[in-house]
Structure 1
Amino acid sequence: MQEQNDEIKRANNIIWNASSDYSFNSKIKAYDKNGKADLYLNYIIGAVHKYYDYSLLEGFFNYLKKDTNCELLKELTWIALENCTYKKAKNERLVLENLRRDYSKKFLDGCNPDLSFDIIDQIKIAHFERALGEKPNTTNLALTILNDLEFDEHMNTKQIISRMKEIIKVYFQYGPRFLSKNILPTSHKDRSIFQVKVKGANSRHNSFFKRPKNELRRAFSWLKSVDQINKYDRKFMQGYYGVSILQEPRIKALEKILCVGNHKNCHVYFTRGDFDVHIKSNISTVKHRGDVLKQREKNNIHYNENFARNNNNILKLTNKIKNVMLINRESSCRAERGKLIVGKIWRSLYLYDNKIFIKNLKNDIRDLTVDIMLDASLSQKNRQEIIATEGYIIAESLTRCQIPVKVYSFCSFHDYTIINLFRDYDEVDKNNRIFNYTASGCNRDGLAIRTALHMMKKLNCRHKMLIVLSDGKPNDMQCIPASGTNPVEYSYSDDMGVNDTALEVRKGLQQNGVYVLGVFTGRNEDLPAAKKIYGRNLVYIKSPKRFADIVGIVLQNKLNNMYE
């Protein structure tokens, strides 16, 4: 706490020194990833107060709050302010040029241009590259907007605000939602506006007001060309997550069903994690493929290091499932077809209960299928080996009981929820592929569960179960869009993400007849959210030694309930 207070004081001192006003109490301060006050950015904050009318700027920022893209627009404004403020201040403070270069290098070292689809990230990266005298390698639109943001140092506050309003009107008033979200596969939810802004010393300025109309039209067409963006994204997905196992028409048909409501503007991508050697790879995709191979090796090593315990868990769980199936195979249950129970006819007449027949469950073992879905978001990074092992134990136990099993993982990247299939129902010898499990990206649990339930909908079996291994913490950069009942968009996280996921879980049994069972794989502080999502159908395993016992008991109860 003392260290934090010291950094706050240091930030204030830098701002006061730059503003020459010790009464200035800035609401905005800049810190690096280690919580240290940033010298260059805090100086810019103070210098903006010194050279411009800060009260007018605060009024402009309040004006931006009315827009759903307000955070993006604030970042754009600070890029412009940093540029003209630096030009004003560099002659007074000669050290500022070196500070700016150092900060630019630090920023670029901490990001990956190959993973930056978000327009604001493209602009920022190009901005820092120019600050180092480098030629930016980005889209024409990002460069066009950046050129317009590189304001002249002789502009006053009113002129800056007026220019920003014109830029916003042209480029962002009708911009699609993907422009307002961050898709980097690490959490940037808490980033400040100063952790994302800068400009180039050797910049070129094209007059915004003199730009030809046809050039503006080209910018608009880029913004509106969603199909073009989707094709680019899918090409990236092929290189990063593996080739798609579904054709484009089939995917579009699925998206019309799945990507609606809270998941409007989202997409789904299905893969087996197999890479096409003919697809051109960049540095990030090559690195990711290497990470997948390394993680597979780690998953296998972790399993083999605990082989005796894991094998014992498989034997225990297998026996528990077999006992349930044996009891039910030798018994009968009420059903909607079979031999009529005369004494139960009244239930159909008065209780609308159509289960007035008796059905013999002998040889009914294959009337059950189980899907196992593994949360593969980056929040699971420190538990990858454990989750792979748990998924394998459940799948192997069910396989030994001759129960059809399908195993896949899910994560989200950019607008996409990626479903990575490890083994299908008839691939009884492919459980080892579960060790390909690797964590990356975010997680849109609601869409993933909706997709899983849809895939199970057409299964020709009477009983279905979906087992989800997750930390119960939905978190996606794609917002829940505004609608008639929801006038503003919401971040897909915290209560909104939990509520959406819980709703999809409830639909599982009510609309699709699928029992959804959650196996908690997160931190203790996230347990309440997981309980809200899965209710009584949540398994919490504190010790790996008791994995089979706890999962076995829950599976026994669920299987017995199915066959009542």
Structure 2
Amino acid sequence: MVTEETLKTHEMELESRIRNLVWTVSGDYTLKLNPDVERYAKEPDTVLYDTIRQGAFSCYFDREAYSLYLVKKVYSGAAEGELMMLAQLVTEEAVSKRLESERPGVKGFRRRAAEEILDHSFETLSRNETGRLKLEYLRGRREEDEGKSPSYSGKTREWMELLKHASETADTMELIRVTDELYNKVVDPAFVKKHGDLASVLAVTIEELTEYSWKDFLSEELYEDGLETYLERVSLDMTNFTSKEAEEKKEKTAGSDTKKIVVVDEKALARMYQYIQRNYGKTWLSESEDKSRNYQLCRGIHSDCSLYYTEGVLKNPVGKYYQLSYAQKQKDKNLHAYYDQHRAVRQNISLLYQELKKAMLLQEDQSFADADHGILQPARMWKVGRSQNADLFRLEQRRNSLDFVVDILVDASGSQRPRQENVTLQTYILAETLSRLHIPFRVMSFCTFWDYTILHRMRDYDDPREKNSNIFEYITSSNNRDGLAVKAAGMDLLKRQEDRKLLILLSDGKPYDVLVNRPNARNPKPYRDDYALHDTATEVRRLRQQGVSVLGVFVGEETELMAEQKIFGKDFAYARDIRNFSHMVGSYLRRKIEE
């Protein structure tokens, strides 16, 4: 008689066997696995082959990057079941030949797994285009095993040719492109028009994913685990050759748009810094200076936050991840906008320069002094040979009473995305004008990714004019914690020796940041609405009390003007587009010069 204890022992032995298969093939004994012992009883070869493929895929490709793409594609509007089925075909094509060359015995597992699927799932797979493609794929592989050359017709031939690219690359990003193109051709040809291209999908941030409710994609008991659990499940399903799980979930993918906050565990937190580096580039601070700045600035309502200083992913990338190519594409868009509006930009620079130069000349003090060089004074020639005072000349002295330094701080949150190119041009106009006036200035953008506020330095105070071109690397994403960014910029500005200091903040007047709930954190309330406006306004007032002039340049929607006024009072300029930018900003700057 088979007892319950005997069954449990048998299940444990099976789990151990499956885990050892994955670890042996991948060489990574840290991989988290959840062996499907129940399915093993029905489809043993399929389960074992899926397990082997999991290990192989982790060995040959970046499993994390590929599964994260799939999650982002679902978030962007893709049908989960059909996407996962295509991912299974792509991952199979990517690893099968490599596996067979290294471990010939695997071929038998694969052949028997295909037979099991054809026997058990033929009717289910025949119901839709994606399933029929999978049937054709399995039939073609079976014919290849028999030494035959598979034949396909029509669109299927085109899709199979695309799928073959997966076996010809060792690059995870190429697998992502193949999967994306395959989905857009097989499942939803209108996906790009409705939801955006691959760059748009990859631009989805971790914050957006963590705030999204994955309720419709998880069983009820796993609701609270949210993104982490869903990501883990996708990571397993994408290398499972069965369609059972995907078919069960396929009908639930439409219409889920509920948002919520989820808890992220310690393991995810430990990897957060890696995400930051991949998305925003290496930091330019030393470890000691980084700790010092965070200790000084991340206090009060920002005590659960961190600051991350970088010169951007294009300047200091950590590898060839998708964010690098996305940042380059956005830079090209910014440059295209500049070339398209070149005349308007140059005209604004010229007008702003002339207006400020005139105001500065009027503030110069003119005086004359006796000297041993300069303009000869005939009336003093009698001193020659008669006096030891040899100051026969008059020297004109001009003293510029305007000892200025400027900080330009630019909101780079996701809400700025529709105005990204326009904000780039406005920032560039300011930078070129200040360069012509020989006023030292710095340009930084800021956004908040998880609990890190990213400060992207595009040029430093005393950099040459050529560095202004870095402004075209401006890119938007995530949230924005304006108060902390203003506080950080102000700390450096106050250390400067110049008598007069000015901070110009280009923003949409909408500070917004929802912290990820972290273990052992105090979990402060979301940084938004009046709470965030009050904090940003407090930091602005604090700088003004220390002698820093602060100007808000409003680059948002007209409905947010009241919020901008709460932060900056009367000292803000509203420029709807670059045509009147020089006039609106110039009038304020001229007033500051004349004070």
TM-score by length of 1: 0.55
CA deviation string 1:179-226 (max 9, x = no partner): xxxxxxxxxx97346x999xxxxxxxxxxxxxxxxxxxxxxxx9678x
Q: Among residues 505, 509, 512, which one is paired with 1:472 in the alignment?
A: 509
Offset at residue 128 of structure 1 (A): 5.3
Question: Match for residue 373 of structure 1?
Answer: 409
Going from structure 1 to structure 2, the CA distance change for 1:297 and 1:528 (only over 3 Å counts) comes to same
Larger Rg: 2
1:112 & 1:368 partners in 2: Cα distance? 42
2:476 & 2:591 partners in 1: Cα distance? 31
1:427 & 1:276 partners in 2: Cα distance? 16
Question: Match for residue 263 of structure 1?
Answer: 302
CA deviation string 1:337-390 (max 9, x = no partner): xxxxxxxxxxxxxxxxxxxxxxxx953366110011111111111111111100
Offset at residue 474 of structure 1 (A): 0.7
Going from structure 1 to structure 2, the CA distance change for 1:278 and 1:261 (only over 3 Å counts) comes to closer
1:507 aligned onto 2:546? no
Offset at residue 304 of structure 1 (A): 1.7
Map 1:372-521; keep pairs closer than 5 Å: 372-429=408-465, 430-478=467-515, 489-510=524-545, 512-521=546-555
Offset at residue 280 of structure 1 (A): 4.4
- 1:551 alignment partner AA: V
Map 1:57-96; keep pairs closer than 5 Å: none
Question: Match for residue 542 of structure 1?
Answer: 576
Question: Match for residue 327 of structure 1?
Answer: 362
1:427 & 1:410 partners in 2: Cα distance? 20
Going from structure 1 to structure 2, the CA distance change for 1:504 and 1:540 (only over 3 Å counts) comes to same
- For the 8 Å contact 2:313–2:327, the answer to whether it is kept is no
- For the 8 Å contact 2:420–2:476, the answer to whether it is kept is yes
What's the C-alpha RMSD, in Å, of the aligned pairs? 4.2
Question: Match for residue 43 of structure 1?
Answer: none
Question: Match for residue 234 of structure 1?
Answer: 273
1:294 aligned onto 2:329? yes
Offset at residue 553 of structure 1 (A): 0.5
- For the 8 Å contact 1:328–1:362, the answer to whether it is kept is no
Offset at residue 34 of structure 1 (A): 11
1:34 & 1:223 partners in 2: Cα distance? 24
Going from structure 1 to structure 2, the CA distance change for 1:297 and 1:128 (only over 3 Å counts) comes to closer
1:492 & 1:294 partners in 2: Cα distance? 31
Q: Match of 2:442, SS?
A: strand
CA deviation string 1:264-287 (max 9, x = no partner): 110111111155888345xxxx22
Unaligned runs of 5+ in 2: 1-73, 81-122, 132-182, 188-197, 211-224, 242-255, 368-396
Offset at residue 447 of structure 1 (A): 0.6
Offset at residue 428 of structure 1 (A): 2.6
Q: Match of 2:527, SS?
A: strand
1:316 & 1:133 partners in 2: Cα distance? 61
- For the 8 Å contact 1:366–1:404, the answer to whether it is kept is no
Going from structure 1 to structure 2, the CA distance change for 1:264 and 1:509 (only over 3 Å counts) comes to same
Offset at residue 237 of structure 1 (A): 2.1
1:229 & 1:531 partners in 2: Cα distance? 37
1:381 & 1:278 partners in 2: Cα distance? 22
Question: Match for residue 364 of structure 1?
Answer: 400
1:397 & 1:389 partners in 2: Cα distance? 12
1:523 aligned onto 2:574? no
- 1:237 alignment partner AA: I
2:480 & 2:204 partners in 1: Cα distance? 21
2:447 & 2:501 partners in 1: Cα distance? 23
Q: Match of 1:448, SS?
A: helix
Q: Match of 2:336, SS?
A: helix
Map 1:329-348; keep pairs closer than 5 Å: 329-330=364-365
- For the 8 Å contact 2:458–2:468, the answer to whether it is kept is yes
1:519 & 1:229 partners in 2: Cα distance? 35
Identity across aligned pairs (percent)? 33
Question: Match for residue 180 of structure 2?
Answer: none
- For the 8 Å contact 2:506–2:555, the answer to whether it is kept is yes
Q: Among residues 566, 569, 572, which one is paired with 1:532 in the alignment?
A: 566
Q: Match of 1:317, SS?
A: helix
Q: Match of 2:526, SS?
A: strand
Question: Match for residue 136 of structure 2?
Answer: none
Question: Match for residue 217 of structure 1?
Answer: none
- For the 8 Å contact 1:263–1:480, the answer to whether it is kept is no
Offset at residue 395 of structure 1 (A): 1.0
1:272 aligned onto 2:307? no
Q: Among residues 329, 339, 342, which one is paired with 1:307 in the alignment?
A: 342
- For the 8 Å contact 2:310–2:457, the answer to whether it is kept is yes
1:488 & 1:274 partners in 2: Cα distance? 30
Offset at residue 129 of structure 1 (A): 5.5
1:264 & 1:190 partners in 2: Cα distance? 31
Offset at residue 233 of structure 1 (A): 2.7
Question: Match for residue 593 of structure 2?
Answer: 559
1:545 & 1:278 partners in 2: Cα distance? 35
2:302 & 2:339 partners in 1: Cα distance? 40
TM-score by length of 2: 0.52
1:125 & 1:479 partners in 2: Cα distance? 17
Q: Match of 1:122, SS?
A: helix
Q: Match of 1:461, SS?
A: coil
Going from structure 1 to structure 2, the CA distance change for 1:328 and 1:243 (only over 3 Å counts) comes to same
CA deviation string 1:460-499 (max 9, x = no partner): 1111000011001011122799xxxxx9832111111111
1:318 aligned onto 2:353? yes
Going from structure 1 to structure 2, the CA distance change for 1:374 and 1:112 (only over 3 Å counts) comes to closer
Offset at residue 288 of structure 1 (A): 1.6
Offset at residue 542 of structure 1 (A): 2.5
1:437 & 1:278 partners in 2: Cα distance? 15
Offset at residue 262 of structure 1 (A): 1.0
- 2:502 alignment partner AA: M
1:389 & 1:254 partners in 2: Cα distance? 31
Offset at residue 251 of structure 1 (A): 0.8
2:275 & 2:514 partners in 1: Cα distance? 18
Question: Match for residue 80 of structure 1?
Answer: none
1:520 & 1:276 partners in 2: Cα distance? 28
Going from structure 1 to structure 2, the CA distance change for 1:365 and 1:473 (only over 3 Å counts) comes to same
Offset at residue 401 of structure 1 (A): 0.8
1:295 & 1:133 partners in 2: Cα distance? 33
Unaligned runs of 5+ in 1: 1-31, 39-93, 136-188, 198-221, 333-360, 482-486
Question: Match for residue 291 of structure 2?
Answer: 252
Q: Match of 2:477, SS?
A: coil
Q: Among residues 123, 128, 131, which one is paired with 2:229 in the alignment?
A: 123
